[in-house]
Amino acid sequence: MWKVAPVLLLLLATPRLTAQSAVQPAEEQARILGLENAWDRAVKQKDAAALKMLLAPELVYVDYDGKLRDKAEYLASIQSPTFHPERIVSESVNVHIYGAVAVVSGVYREKGEKNGKPYTLRERFTDTWVLRSENWMCVASHSTLISP
Amino acid sequence: MKSAVLVMILLCSAVWLTAAQSGADPDAVTKVLALEHAWNQAEEQKDTKAMDAIFDNAMVVVDYDGTLRIKAEFLAKMRSETSHPQIEVTESMTARMLGTTVVVTGVYVMKGVENGKAYARRGRFIDTWAFKDGNWLCVTSQATPILH
């Protein structure tokens, strides 16, 4: 069975890269895309341990309804027993790296059941990742609803 | 009366090189918050020169309706004859410095006329600022209507 956490450890580790060194854009872009994919899988599997590794303690998360959540609140929302994501797909994802900061933009499709009701969402998102102690961690994530 | 562009040039350029290299500018948060207020003023005045000075060329903006715009598209929308913003106020704003990045979260209220129709919007935003070539530049901005 595929496990998220070991893959994350590999993706998070950037032994040759520090905030002061020259960033390898293509390599780092691929690494960050891998982290974004791991995030999608972790949400689908409700894997809080994997999510904790991806998200910085200072995370600010703005959901599609404008609600602001910190890391603990976001993790609690994923772990809620009434939340059952079935399908999560990110598309049109673009990564731009500014030294030790990376901005990811894309479209996120999610389908599942929440509070006993089926839902389908399509959102535009931006995520901000910072390089910290040789790991990329997400510090900000923001979604806005778009038409399905 | 000083124009917004002059204020922005001063704000952008008054940076210590040593702080830039270490990524530890103690005044970064104050400067970025000042740039946020200048942004509101520039948007009300449709001052695209001022906006140009604080946006990174690779900036992406996700508007309240989920529309993705690059810098040139955002500035073109500001210049549009059919767009007449009247008031843009930030209700609350918090900035957090993370190395060479500042993440600003807040709530804004905007009133104006677009395509002949009056509008009033209230939304949550996250702006990410990166320190680049001696200046703080906004690299991504996203807004979401507050639905709750």
pLDDT in tens, chain A (148 residues): 344 555 555 555 554 444 434 455 899 999 999 999 999 999 999 999 999 999 999 999 999 999 999 999 999 999 999 999 999 999 999 999 999 999 999 999 999 999 999 999 999 999 999 999 889 999 999 999 998 7
CB contact under 8 A, A140 and B126: yes
**Listed residue (A145, A102, A147, A107) closest to A127, CA to CA:** A102
Q: How many CB pairs under 8 A join A and B?
A: 116
**What is A4-145's CATH number?**
3.10.450.50
Backbone angles phi, psi at A75, to 5 degrees: -60, -40
The structural domain count of chain B equals 1
| CATH number of the CATH domain containing B31 | 3.10.450.50
Cα distance between residue B74 and residue B108, in whole Å: 18
Nearest chain A residue to B70, by CA = A105
| Facing A139 at nearest CB: one of B62, B98, B100 | B98
Q: What is the pTM of this model?
A: 0.84
Query: What domain range includes position B139?
Result: 4-145
Residue type, A101: V
Partners of A19 in beta bridges: none
Residues of B in contact with A58 (CB under 8 A): 96, 98
Q: Are strands B135-145 and B55-62 parallel, antiparallel or unpaired?
A: parallel
Residues of B in contact with A100 (CB under 8 A): 23, 99-101
How large is the ipTM?
Answer: 0.83
